Amino acid sequence: MIADALLLQLGYNATLVAIGATLLGIAAGSTGTFLFLRKRALVSDAISHATLPGVGLAFIVMVWMGGDGRSLFGLMAGSALSAGIGLLCLNWLTRHTRLAEDAAIGAVLSVFFGIGIVLLTVIQTLGAGRQAGLESFLLGSTAGMLRADAAVIALGGALVLTLILALRRPMTLVAFDPEYAMARGVPVARIDLAMMGLVMAVTVVGLKIVGLILIVALLIIPAVTARFWTDRSDRVVLLAGLFGGLAGYVGAAISASAPNLPTGPIIVLVGFALFAASLLLAPGRGVLAAVLRHLRFQRRVHLRQGLLALAQGQPIYERLTLRLLRRAGLARADGIATERGRARAAKALRDEKRWEVVRADLAFEAAAALYDGLREIETVLTRDQIAEIDARLGGPKGVPA
């Protein structure tokens, strides 16, 4: 069943939803990356909640004008308008009052959402029967999605991606170093506003599929997922689009494969699965890689300390050190060095003495800066330089360099 869904074999509506969700995911993922890089991820939450009064008012106005009240285009226009007002309120509060942005977000988000819920309740008491479906904007609803709806989403997504392509350089510059951007004459406030405008567009387009409460997940999760895999901002944007699109596609397919699986939440959960897998498994920034790196480093430290202790005839108390030495065949269970252990220990001690010379001599300043107790001296100095140091040290010859 899921295979059918993934191959778009579940019928017209499911196919429309899958295409729409994929496009939305791509647009949301790449837009959200800039928000994430600018460290303003939660602004999207304020924007999305601020759409609700617009949905209610648009419905009321359309009904009052004698229309159906459920035209997606009309509702989207209304939600964009009220989200825009919410965004302006947020900007004004952060700029002209002493309120920090997080507090301003909390205020705007809750007040606009409250107004929206009041309007929806009022609508319910007005003309019974006609209001059906407005609540679906909270969590999204893909049942009965029309071709026109999919076309609106596709068009909106394409527009968003085009604007991102055009603005990627200033948006990256502003996210990384806003003061430098300002010094170069980049209109930072306007770029910020454009960034938020893109977020607003994605939110409005995504209302139908994932709803206003969960759209923030689609904006942010792909970006943080992508960050695990690369250290380049342009690639974070591309990967986030990919992860977002994948989440949208797979999520829509899964929800179509069985009855009563809500599309929006399933998409978010698929996005989370990608995030969790990246968090654990990504090379470099992943948790597993970090743990392995730490263990490997700890082993190196213990081995080195153990060798130096052996060389100086000191007893080894730490069990881990002893175990590591034993496993490497450098010491016996009672802590006495093996033949090979003695040779390695003598070399370790000799290297320490060599390092002492290096660190005391200004001529080796650059090399000395690399000393950290673990670094092999051969990776820093040439054979000739080591020979010169050995000549200064005197003592036993023939220790393998």
Which residues make up the interface to other proteins (CB under 8 A)? 37, 39, 165-167, 169-170, 172-173, 175-177, 179-180, 182-186, 227, 230-233, 235-236, 365-366, 369
Q: Is the dihedral of CA 108, 109, 114, 116 positive or negative?
A: positive
Please report how close the Cβ of residue 236 comes to other proteins at its closest, in angstroms.
5
Please report how close the Cβ of residue 291 comes to other proteins at its closest, in angstroms.
20
Closer by beta carbon to other proteins, 80 or else 174: 174
Closer by beta carbon to other proteins, 132 or else 166: 166
CA pair distance 26, 147, nearest whole angstrom: 19
Closer by beta carbon to other proteins, 136 or else 230: 230
Please report how close the Cβ of residue 158 comes to other proteins at its closest, in angstroms.
17
Closer by beta carbon to other proteins, 136 or else 233: 233
Please report how close the Cβ of residue 170 comes to other proteins at its closest, in angstroms.
7
Please report how close the Cβ of residue 232 comes to other proteins at its closest, in angstroms.
6
Q: Pseudo-torsion of CA 165, 166, 171, 173, nearest 10°?
A: 100
Closer by beta carbon to other proteins, 111 or else 370: 370
Residue 21 CB coordination number (10 Å): 35
Q: Is the dihedral of CA 36, 39, 45, 46 positive or negative?
A: negative
Please report how close the Cβ of residue 367 comes to other proteins at its closest, in angstroms.
12
Closer by beta carbon to other proteins, 190 or else 340: 190
Closer by beta carbon to other proteins, 63 or else 167: 167
Please report how close the Cβ of residue 213 comes to other proteins at its closest, in angstroms.
29
Please report how close the Cβ of residue 363 comes to other proteins at its closest, in angstroms.
14
Closer by beta carbon to other proteins, 179 or else 339: 179
- Pick left, alpha or beta for residue 48 (phi over 0 → left; psi -120 to 50 → alpha; otherwise beta): alpha
CA pair distance 301, 213, nearest whole angstrom: 49
Please report how close the Cβ of residue 60 comes to other proteins at its closest, in angstroms.
41
Which neighbouring-strand residues pair with 331? 337
Closer by beta carbon to other proteins, 229 or else 249: 229
Q: Pseudo-torsion of CA 329, 334, 338, 344, nearest 10°?
A: 70
Please report how close the Cβ of residue 94 comes to other proteins at its closest, in angstroms.
16
Closer by beta carbon to other proteins, 65 or else 362: 362
CA pair distance 27, 41, nearest whole angstrom: 15
